[in-house]
Amino acid sequence: MGSRIVAAYAAKEATGGLATAGLVAAVLGLGTLNRVLYRLALVPLRDYVFFLAQAQNIGYLVIYYSLLALRFRQGKVTQAMLATPKPLFVLTGMCEAAAQLLMMSGAAHLPGALLPLLMQTVLLWNLLFSQLVFGTRPSLPQILGVLAVLAGVAVASWPSGSSAAAAAAAAEIQPLHLLLCVVSFAFPALATIIKERIFKDAARRLGSGQQLDVLVVNSYCSTAQAGFLLLLLPLTCHLKGLSLPELPAYLQSGTACLLGGSPACGADCTGAPLLPLLYITVNVAFNVAAMYLVRSAGAVATALSMSCLVPITVVAFTLPLPLLPQAQLGGGFVAGTLLLVAGLLTYNAALWLPAAMRLGRKWQAGLARG
């Protein structure tokens, strides 16, 4: 009987590991496609980046609530799930709105090549907030793994070029803008930790092995985010160089461009509406997959997966893509990628090292018998 229980538990653990691996693969695939399509969507909407962000927020609400209603009719979402306490959703939406505002303030004044590097501070914020919220203390291999991932992403994504050019670009960076950008990444990290807390609290509240449906979290958090963005609209418009009286004309021109027409400014909107709609659709699928990964593996593991997107996306942009120039790999790309993989293996050593050691001992025993 005991051996059957152990075997059943091992089979369950293996199935869970395979499911998590499948989620990581889905996040990496959809995440890479999401970033490529975002860059392609900006070709027709390059003069309407702010409009694309607002259209994306509206798209979230429409798609998430449509899918939520469908799953409710199918009985996969219950009244108990919909009755989940709302304060944490509101806090999550506030964090995501604050991140968008601070990012707009800082990123506009920083070199584009620096942003993927600063984005990796999300990993450090996740470790900090995970310890504060859940009391989880990372082990030494996990800390070393995170540091190796950060270093690997920095080396892999640093642009090739002369040291003089890099020094000149660094000299133009203002510490305040750098600080704003780093702080802005603390808010999505905190939002992810709060979502993990929502899932854990809901699992205890629902009982019977039930888990809160991902679309409930996405729908409620997107609603809260949209509400805070609406409150911050005057400040957001100011940061984008728009006054509130100019906003209706800007939205009208952006809508015309999104639909593939010719806006009043005469911008070339070739590629719309197909590319922007493809981006919004894939972005929703990516967010849903990422939320499943948060529920399954936690915020820190999700952040590590997001870090892997940087070198994969860099490789994707070296392919011959329509409407975009073909990118060139920096000199340290291979070394940075190897460092990143080493960091991931170090962070997850507790998962694969015991199995590898058992396999090694069996192999040695086989050699001894032979």
Per-residue pLDDT, 181: 81
Per-residue pLDDT, 26: 93
Sequence-distant contacts of 322-330: CB under 8 A, at least 24 apart: 322/40, 323/40, 323/43, 323/270, 323/271, 324/39, 324/40, 324/43, 328/160, 329/160, 330/156, 330/157, 330/158, 330/159, 330/160
Q: How confident is the model at residue 288 (pLDDT cuts 50, 70, 90)?
A: very high
Per-residue pLDDT, 167: 55
Spatial separation of the C-alpha atoms in residues 71 and 31, rounded to whole Å? 24
Average the pLDDT over 307-318 and give the result: 83
What is the overall mean pLDDT for the chain?
83
**Phi, psi (deg, nearest 5) at residue 105:** -70, -40
Q: How confident is the model at residue 184 (pLDDT cuts 50, 70, 90)?
A: confident
Of the chain, the end-to-end C-alpha distance in Å amounts to 34
Residue 11 pLDDT > 90: no
Q: What's the gap between Cα 236 and its chain centre?
A: 22
Q: Which two tokens stand for residue 120?
A: 């990796």
Per-residue pLDDT, 242: 86
Spatial separation of the C-alpha atoms in residues 58 and 242, rounded to whole Å? 20
Spatial separation of the C-alpha atoms in residues 146 and 140, rounded to whole Å? 10
Spatial separation of the C-alpha atoms in residues 196 and 140, rounded to whole Å? 23
User: Which three-class secondary structure state does DSSP give residue 213?
Assistant: coil
Q: What percent of the chain has pLDDT over 90?
A: 31
Per-residue pLDDT, 7: 41
Per-residue pLDDT, 214: 95
Residue 164 pLDDT > 70: no
